Amino acid sequence: MSGILYLVPTPIGNLGDLSDRVRETLSAVDFIAAEDTRVSLKLLNHLGLKKPLVSYYEHNRAESGPRILARLQGGESCALVTDAGTPAISDPGQDLVALCAGADVPVCAIPGPCAAVTALAASGLPTGRFTFEGFLSTAPKSRREHLDALRGERRTMIFYEAPHKLVRTLSDFASVFGPERRISLCRELTKLHEEILRTTLGEAAAYYETQAPRGEYVLILEGAPAPEPVPAPSLADATERVNALIAQGLRRKEAVKQVSEALGIPKNTLYEASLP
């Protein structure tokens, strides 16, 4: 029988966010697949645990993934941990999960810290509907295509960003979404210097002209406003249009039919209202 792949979330800054279930799972599994074994070793030392570690990260996932899968199929259980937060969210975990799902190896995701959800919850922006956009590409063409595709997006958008790229991103956001669009810049979440700046794109750009961005950021961007509702046509306007068509030579019945279809006003109502 196959073992289980556990997706084990780790703190995004505050060790107090390590749950009992995470401790129990890390101590129970046969081995741990880590994005950076040095980072995970520190965590294991903190927990007083010793476990075999294998490396699974962006640049070795093609070879490491099948090796981990084979061990799972051989009956061993594995905990996947990344440097911080929930594995598979903007980190290489998603490929290992897909590999396991394709081979019918059970995957158990343990809930826990995730920078995107933590920032969204604290943003003060609508949380009812949102999209996760991850990191923007640094390649100009795909970056532009990504932003263009979001021009009319009405849902709140979540982006990850590194401090040295923040100023360029804010400037690109302002040119695509306009300087009035609201944004919450959430940095150093769960850490000593946690800060949430709730502002507009224009003001955020001005703020970072004098202030060097520091720490990791989640950017929560307000969605596009709903389009202005088109006012319902009044009966008086509709009647005027009917009379204008009659003046051009149409019979009343035909004029009413045309205007009724165009404006969605019932024919009988319109016919009666148009009578002299």
Contact set with ligand SAM (CB under 6 A): 12-13, 82, 84-86, 89-91, 114-116, 160-162, 186-191, 216-218
Other CB atoms within a 10 A radius of the CB of residue 96 amount to 26
The nearest distance, CB 13 to ligand SAM, in angstroms, is 4
Q: Which lies closer to ligand SAM via its Cβ, residue 121 or residue 244? A: 121
The nearest distance, CB 86 to ligand SAM, in angstroms, is 4
- The tokens describing 23, both together, are 């401790």
Q: Which lies closer to ligand SAM via its Cβ, residue 91 or residue 222? A: 91
Q: Which lies closer to ligand SAM via its Cβ, residue 85 or residue 223? A: 85
The nearest distance, CB 85 to ligand SAM, in angstroms, is 2
Return d(Cα 21, Cα 23) in angstroms, integer. Answer: 5
Q: Which lies closer to ligand SAM via its Cβ, residue 196 or residue 224? A: 196
Nearest residue to the partner ligand SAM, using Cβ: 85
Alpha helices in the chain (DSSP H): 20-28, 37-47, 61-73, 93-102, 115-122, 140-149, 166-177, 201-210, 235-247, 252-263, 267-274
Transcribe 77-102 into DSSP letters.
-EEEE-SSB-TTSSSTHHHHHHHHHH
The nearest distance, CB 196 to ligand SAM, in angstroms, is 10
* Distance (Å) of CA 116 to CA 34, 257, 259: 21, 54, 51
Return d(Cα 245, Cα 64) in angstroms, integer. Answer: 75
The nearest distance, CB 56 to ligand SAM, in angstroms, is 14
Q: Which lies closer to ligand SAM via its Cβ, residue 177 or residue 217? A: 217
